[in-house]
Structure 1
Amino acid sequence: MITVSPIMLSIAGSVAALFVVFGLGVMVSRQMLASLRFFMGQSVALTLSALVLADALHTVNLLWVALITFVTKVIAVPLVLRWAAGEEIYGRREVDQALEIPASVLVAAVFALVGWFAVAPVLPTLHDVPFAAINLPTGLIMVLWGAFTVALRRESVAQMMGLLIMENGAFFGSIAIVHNLTVIAEIAAAVDVPIVALVIGLLIRSIRRVTGSTRVGTLDKLHEH
């Protein structure tokens, strides 16, 4: 069993708290540009988590994870989204969503409890994994919040933000228990995200040209007559 100092656990907990706060910002933000910036902040928190785990667990692989995560999710993905979706989308002041912000926060709190209680029975079996109690619940909560964001938002770009924070959540939880992947596997997993963002962004751009909007409710205009 790997012994980790309480200080490192405290730092990891603080980073996890930032990760959750930025994820909540993505979910409740009413401006597309702000939502993108919250996603970038969450990706920075994911990078910091990988660095903390790399230092505590003495594994070089997580240093590569941190570097690849920063390059792809903090730099590449935002650039791809800004280019593919168009500047006017991010200049829009309001993002349509099914619930008001107070109700959204309440539902998010319920999902947070569900995520925590869902992981709790598994944690005793991972007692020899130092950061599992921090990263696994946080990651699952973010996956649930991302799915809720997809269902909550009525804008296709905002829904894609939900998919991205779901991926961040899955990655945040997995690095605590699987941190010995080869560099090739890490690069392959990381490159997939910008490619997916580019493909979806180009689709959104094409849809906007046809319908004049990125609202999901207008996609019926794409039906063939």
Structure 2
Amino acid sequence: MNTTVSPLAFSLDGSIAALFVVLGLGVMVSRQMLGSLRFFMWQSVALTASALVLADALQAINLLWVALITFSTKVIAVPLVLRWAAGEEIYGRREVDQALSISASVLVAAILALVGWFAVAPVLPILHGTPFALLNLPTGLIMVLWGAFTVALRRESVAQLMGLLIMENGAFFGSIAIVHNLTVIAEIAAAVDVPIVALVIGLLIRSIRRVTGTTRVGGMDTLHER
């Protein structure tokens, strides 16, 4: 495997990482559910592009499979599954109900980004011989933290699902720079769970809306077992 990478590859991956973070922020602060989904789709495109750059720079064929699987599952399959399962909860003009204002959310996101960088700093010297890890690992951890914050911030179940999905994107973004020689079977198993989770949660959302007339998580405490 080639461990000497060109400055161009680092520059491309750095640009993709910056775009990846911006799109993750878009998922977190978007006012519309459809807008949040679109930000997630474009972030998945950025993840695909990063896998392609690393595949070429590291001569890692398995990352080509990662790119193909990521694009197929997250850019194509997840929106289709959610359209079928959740219907108008995703594709209708729905305002996202959240606990904090957008300005406060951005401030918390900035703090979490600093926490992510400082948390991963002790590990980076160990990975000095692993190309791209110095950039991808902190970026991925930041997205995991932002995804968890999105789940806590949003009061709509569909919007919370977007938080879980960008957490998974962040985990993939960091891991492809560290472990890029997994077998194709392992990569397929790791990626196929995303549309399955989207399907299960989408069906649950449909059932909850049929019973309660809403998908606001805050209203779930009014349900009682008959």
**Alpha-carbon distance between aligned partners in 2 of 1:96 and 1:205, rounded to the nearest angstrom:** 18
- Residue of structure 2 in register with 1:105 after alignment: 106
Count of residue correspondences: 225
How far off is 1:90 after superposition? 3.0
| 3-state secondary structure, aligned to 2:3 | coil
Equivalent residues in 2 for 1:204-219, closer than 5 Å: 204-219=205-220
Residues 88-132 of structure 1: CA deviation (Å, up to 9, x unaligned): 543234111000000000000000000011111111110110100
User: d(CA) in 1 for partners of 2:25 and 2:174?
Assistant: 17
> For 1:12-27, what aligned pairs fall within 5 Å after superposition?
12-27=13-28
Do the aligned partners of 1:13 and 1:134 also contact (CA within 8 Å) in 2?
yes
> Percent of pairs identical after alignment?
86
Gaps of 5+ in 2: none
- Describe how 1:172-187 pairs up with structure 2 within 5 A: 172-187=173-188
RMSD (CA atoms): 1.1
Matched with 1:197 is 198
Name 1:128's counterpart in structure 2: 129
Whole-angstrom CA distance in 2 between matches of 1:218 and 1:90 = 22
* Contact 1:123–1:133, Cα closer than 8 Å, also in 2: yes
User: 1:153-193 CA deviation, whole Å, 9 max, x = no partner?
Assistant: 00000001000000000010000000000011111111111
Distance in 2, Cα, partners of 1:23 & 1:91: 22
Where does structure 1 lack aligned partners over 5 or more consecutive residues? none
2-structure distance, mates of 1:158, 1:200: 11
Deviations 1:20-56, CA, capped at 9 Å, x for gaps: 0110000000100000000000000000000000000
The correspondence of residues 1-225 of structure 1 with structure 2, limited to 5 A, is 2-225=3-226
- One-letter identity of the residue aligned with 1:172: F
For 1:185, what is the secondary structure of its paired residue? helix
TM-score, scaled to structure 1: 0.98
Q: Secondary structure at the match of 2:162?
A: helix
